C-alpha cells in the first residue's frame, strides 16, 4: 500500500494547507500501522492537531511518529517546535539536536536550536544556520536579534540589512533595522526604515510608537505626543504607547494627564512595575512604589524609587537602606552601586563613594557617571594618579555631550610637543577652565605652539595673558567634525592634569596666568579709593545660584555684618546677579557695600578680572570669583561647606592650585557662624597688620 499511502498523504497535505483540517485528518488516519508511511502520517496528524490548538495531543502523536521511525528528521524538528511552545525548552532543544544530528546538511535542526538555546550554544547554532541557509532572511533576522541582545547594535543593523537584501518586503527586517539604527543614534536612517515599515504594515502600532521615540529622544515633545497618541488609538491595548505618552506629558509639565495615561496602561498590564513607580513619583505617594515592589520584588526600580522619595524630607536615613535592598536584589546592576556611591559621597564619605563607584564600573565599564563620581571621590581624597585616570572618562557621559568637540587629528597623550601645534579645547564650566588654564604655560615650555578654543567671555582675557597663543572665535560645539585650525594634535583642557601627572609624579605645578586689563584695573581702583580713602578694599560674594549646590554655598547676609564693621576695611560687591533686595537687606543691617563700580561679573568676565585685581583681598564661598582671584595670585579666602567639591581636598587650609588662597571650612552642615567668626578675627588681624 506504500504508493497509495504516499498519494493519500500528499492529498491530505493539500487539504491541510487549504484549511480543510477535518478532511486532512481523515486521510492521515487511513495510513495503517506497519506501513512505511505510518510514521509520516502520525507526524502530519500531530502538526494538524497543533494548528487546532491541541498541543498535548500533538506531542503524543509526534512522539509516536518518532518511535515508529527514529530517523524522521522532520518529526523530531516538529516535536521540538511543539515542546518549545509548551515552554519545555530543554526537551525541545534535545529534539532539535536529534534533528541536526540526523540531517546535518538541513537547517531545520539548527534553526530550532537557535531559537530555544542560550549561550554558548545559540551563537554556534545561528552561525551554522546561516552557513546552511545563506539566503534565509529569517535566519539573518534571528542573527540580528542575537547581536542586538549582546548590545552589538552595529552588527545587528548589518544583519537586518542583509535580510532586507534577500527580502526587501520583510517587515521584521525593516522594523528591527530601524530599532538598531535608533539605538546607534542614527535617527534619520531609523526614520527611513520606520517609514518603509509603515508602508508594509500601515496600522502597526509598534512602528508608530517607535517613530514617537525618535521624536522624544530629539526633544520634540509635540511630535512625540502626536505619534504616541496615534499609536494607542491604533491599538488601545498598546501598553508601551500609553507609558511613552505619559512620559511625554511629564516632559511638558502635564503631570495630571501623565498619571491618567500611566493608569490607562496599568488597566491593560497591571504588572507594569515602572508605571507604578512613575505614578509614585508624580503623586508623591509611597503606596504606588510599594505596589511596584509587590508586582516585581526582584527588580531594583521600586527600591530606587523609594530611596528617591526618601530624599524629599530633611531626614535621609531611609535612603541608603532602600538603595542597598535594590543592590541586593540586582547585584549585577551597576546603577544600584553607583547610586549608593553617590549617596555616601553626599554624606561626605569619599572613601565609600570611590569604592562603590569602582564596583559599578567593574560591572559595566562604560558607566560614565560612575567613572566621574569615582574620579571626584579619589581627587578629593588627593589620590591623584587614580583620580586623573578616572577623570578622563567624564567625557563619555551624556552631560558632557553638548560640550564635546571632534577633530580629524590625533589626541595628544604623551607625544613630543616640540615644534608641534597643539589644539586645546575647553569642555567644562568657567571656573574649571580658569583653573585648568593654570597648566597652559607648561605646554608652551615644552615647545608647543598653542591654539585654544574657549568660552567667548574668556577669550579677551586669554589673548591678553598669552599673546603668543592663538584664540580663534568659534561657534558652540555641534557634534560634527570641526576645523582643527592647522594643529597637529588636540587635547581637552580637563585632561591636562592627567597628561602632566599633576601632583602624582609630574614636575609641573599650577601657575597663575590671568593678566587683567591694566587701564581698567587702575580706573576701578582709583574710583574705589576715592570713595573709601585710606581703607583696604575687600571684595565679597555671598550667594550661589547653582542648581544642586548653590544652597550650601550661600551665606546669610546678616553674618556679614560684623565682618563689614572691621576697622580700616571697605566692602566691595563682587556678587554676580546683584539684586536691589540684597542692597536693601545690607542697608537694613547697617552694612555699607560698594556697588558703584558698574561691573556685572556674570556678563563681563574681563571686568570681573579687573575688579578682582583692584581690591586687596577676596572673601567668598567657592565660585568663579575664587578661580579668578587664584589665577591672578590675588589673596583670597575661600569659605567652604562641609562637603566641598574635589579641588579643595578634605582637610587642608591652603590650595594646591592657587598660591595665595586660604581655606576656611565649616565643621557642621549649614553652620556658617563659626566660619564667619574666624574670618572676622583673621580680617581684623590682616587689616591691622597692613595698616
CATH code (residue 526): 3.40.50.2000
Q: Report the alpha-carbon angle 389-395-398, nearest 5.
A: 135
Last residue of some domain: 472, 499, 526? 499
Omega cis (within 30) before 120 = yes
* pTM, to two decimals: 0.75
Note whether 657 and 586 are same-domain residues: yes
Closest CA to 645 of 402, 429, 366, 324: 429
Residue 409's Cα: distance from chain center in Å? Answer: 27
Count other C-beta atoms under 10 Å from residue 385's C-beta: 13
**Residue 299 counted as domain residue:** no
Note whether 534 and 603 are same-domain residues: yes
Condensed to tens digits (0 to 9), the pLDDT of residues 136-182 reads 999 999 999 999 988 899 999 999 999 999 999 999 999 999 999 99
**Residue 36 counted as domain residue:** no
CATH of the domain at 446: 3.40.50
Closest CA to 661 of 690, 689, 688, 625: 625
Condensed to tens digits (0 to 9), the pLDDT of residues 457-469 reads 999 999 999 999 9
Condensed to tens digits (0 to 9), the pLDDT of residues 229-282 reads 999 999 999 999 999 999 999 999 999 999 999 999 999 999 999 999 999 999
Condensed to tens digits (0 to 9), the pLDDT of residues 42-99 reads 999 999 999 999 999 999 999 999 999 999 999 999 999 999 999 999 999 999 999 9
Q: In what order do the strands lie in the sheet with 489-492?
A: 449-453, 421-425, 489-492
Instruction: Report CA dihedral (261, 265, 270, 272) to the nearest 10 degrees.
Output: -90
- Across the chain, how many H-helices and E-strands are there? 34, 9
Task: At 489, list the grid cell.
Answer: 594634535
Q: Give the pLDDT band of residue 340 (cuts 50, 70, 90).
A: very high
**Residue 494 counted as domain residue:** yes
**Residue 563 counted as domain residue:** yes
Closest CA to 12 of 37, 36, 1: 37
Range of the domain at 531: 518-690
**Residue 205 counted as domain residue:** no
Closest CA to 190 of 170, 175, 208: 175
Q: What letter does residue 150 receive in the DSSP assignment?
A: T
**Residue 532 counted as domain residue:** yes
Task: At 412, list the grid cell.
Answer: 595628544
**Residue 652 counted as domain residue:** yes
Number of domains in the chain: 2
Residue-by-residue DSSP string for 290-338: HHHHHH-TT-SHHHHHHHHHHTSSS--TTHHHHHHHHHHH-TT-HHHHH
**CA distance linking residue 106 with residue 75, whole number of Å:** 13
**CA distance linking residue 626 with residue 640, whole number of Å:** 11
Q: Give the pLDDT band of residue 691 (cuts 50, 70, 90).
A: very low
How much helix, strand and coil, in percent to the nearest 5, is found in the chain?
Answer: 60, 5, 35
Q: Are 445 and 473 in contact (CB under 8 A)?
A: no
Note whether 485 and 620 are same-domain residues: no
Amino acid at each position: 500500500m506504500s504508493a497509495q499511502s504516499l498519494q493519500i498523504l500528499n492529498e491530505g497535505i493539500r487539504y491541510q494547507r487549504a484549511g480543510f483540517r477535518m478532511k486532512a485528518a481523515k486521510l492521515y488516519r487511513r495510513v495503517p500501522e506497519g506501513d512505511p508511511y505510518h510514521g509520516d502520517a502520525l507526524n502530519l496528524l500531530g502538526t494538524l492537531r497543533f494548528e487546532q490548538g491541541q498541543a498535548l495531543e500533538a506531542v503524543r502523536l509526534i512522539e509516536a511518529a518518532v518511535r515508529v521511525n527514529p530517523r524522521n528528521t522532520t518529526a523530531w524538528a516538529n516535536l521540538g517546535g511543539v515542546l518549545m511552545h509548551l515552554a519545555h525548552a530543554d526537551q525541545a532543544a534535545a529534539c532539535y539536536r536529534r534533528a541536526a544530528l540526523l540531517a546535518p546538511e538541513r537547517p531545520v535542526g539548527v534553526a530550532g536550536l537557535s531559537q530555544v538555546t542560550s549561550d554558548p550554544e545559540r551563537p554556534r547554532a545561528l552561525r551554522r544556520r546561516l552557513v546552511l541557509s545563506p539566503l534565509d532572511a529569517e535566519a539573518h533576522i534571528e542573527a540580528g536579534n542575537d547581536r542586538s541582545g549582546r548590545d552589538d547594535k552595529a552588527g545587528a543593523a548589518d544583519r537586518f540589512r542583509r535580510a532586507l537584501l534577500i527580502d526587501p518586503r520583510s517587515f521584521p527586517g525593516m522594523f528591527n533595522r530601524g530599532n538598531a539604527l535608533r539605538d546607534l543614534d542614527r535617527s534619520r536612517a531609523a526614520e527611513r526604515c520606520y517609514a518603509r515599515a509603515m508602508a508594509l504594515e500601515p496600522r502597526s502600532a509598534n512602528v508608530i510608537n517607535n517613530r514617537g521615540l525618535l521624536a522624544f529622544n530629539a526633544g520634540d515633545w509635540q511630535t512625540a505626543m502626536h505619534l504616541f497618541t496615534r499609536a494607542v488609538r491604533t491599538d488601545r491595548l498598546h501598553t508601551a504607547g500609553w507609558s511613552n505618552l505619559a512620559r511625554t506629558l511629564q516632559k511638558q509639565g502635564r503631570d495630571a494627564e501623565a498619571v491618567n495615561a500611566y493608569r490607562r496602561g496599568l488597566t491593560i498590564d497591571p504588572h507594569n512595575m515602572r508605571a507604578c513607580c512613575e505614578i509614585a513619583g508624580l503623586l508623591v505617594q509611597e503606596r504606588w512604589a510599594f505596589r511596584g515592589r509587590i508586582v516585581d520584588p526582584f527588580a531594583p526600580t521600586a527600591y530606587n524609587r523609594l530611596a528617591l522619595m526618601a530624599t524629599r524630607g530633611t531626614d535621609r536615613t531611609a535612603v541608603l537602606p532602600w538603595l542597598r535592598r535594590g543592590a541586593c536584589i540586582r547585584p549585577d546592576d551597576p546603577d544600584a552601586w553607583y547610586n549608593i556611591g553617590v549617596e555616601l559621597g553626599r554624606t561626605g564619605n569619599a572613601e565609600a563613594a570611590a569604592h562603590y563607584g569602582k564596583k559599578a564600573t567593574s560591572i559595566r565599564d562604560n558607566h560614565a557617571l560612575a567613572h566621574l563620581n569615582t574620579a571626584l571621590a579619589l581627587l578629593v581624597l588627593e589620590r591623584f594618579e587614580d583620580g586623573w585616570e578616572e577623570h578622563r572618562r567624564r567625557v563619555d557621559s551624556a552631560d558632557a555631550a553638548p560640550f564635546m568637540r571632534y577633530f580629524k587629528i590625533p589626541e595628544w597623550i604623551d607625544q613630543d610637543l616640540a615644534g608641534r601645534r597643539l589644539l586645546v579645547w575647553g569642555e567644562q564650566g568657567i571656573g574649571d577652565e580658569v583653573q585648568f588654564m593654570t597648566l597652559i604655560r607648561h605646554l608652551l615650555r615644552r615647545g608647543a605652539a598653542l591654539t585654544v578654543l574657549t568660552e567667548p567671555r574668556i577669550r579677551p582675557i586669554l589673548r591678553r595673558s598669552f599673546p603668543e597663543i592663538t584664540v580663534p572665535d568659534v561657534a558652540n560645539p555641534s557634534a560634527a567634525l570641526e576645523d582643527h585650525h592647522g594643529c597637529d594634535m588636540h587635547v581637552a583642557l580637563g585632561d591636562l592634569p592627567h597628561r602632566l601627572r599633576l601632583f602624582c609624579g609630574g614636575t609641573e605645578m599650577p601657575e597663575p596666568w590671568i593678566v587683567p586689563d591694566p587701564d581698567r584695573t587702575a580706573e576701578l581702583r582709583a574710583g574705589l579709593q576715592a570713595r573709601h580713602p585710606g581703607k583696604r578694599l575687600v571684595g565679597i560674594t555671598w550667594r550661589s545660584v547653582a542648581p544642586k549646590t548653590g544652597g550650601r554655598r550661600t551665606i546669610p547676609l546678616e553674618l556679614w555684618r560684623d565682618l563689614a564693621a572691621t576697622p580700616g576695611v571697605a566692602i566691595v560687591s563682587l556678587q554676580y546677579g546683584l539684586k536691589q533686595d540684597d542692597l536693601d537687606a545690607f542697608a537694613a543691617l547697617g552694612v555699607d557695600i560698594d556697588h558703584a563700580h558698574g561691573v556685572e561679573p556674570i556678563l563681563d568676565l574681563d571686568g570681573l578680572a579687573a575688579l578682582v585685581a583692584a581690591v586687596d583681598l577676596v572673601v567668598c564661598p567657592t565660585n568663579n570669583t575664587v578661580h579668578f582671584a587664584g589665577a591672578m595670585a590675588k589673596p583670597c579666602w575661600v569659605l567652604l561647606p562641609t562637603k566641598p567639591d574635589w579641588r579643595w581636598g578634605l582637610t587642608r587650609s591652603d590650595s594646591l592650585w592657587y598660591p595665595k588662597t586660604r581655606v576656611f571650612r565649616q565643621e557642621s552642615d549649614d553652620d556658617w557662624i563659626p566660619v564667619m567668626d574666624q574670618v572676622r578675627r583673621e580680617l581684623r588681624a590682616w587689616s591691622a597688620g597692613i595698616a
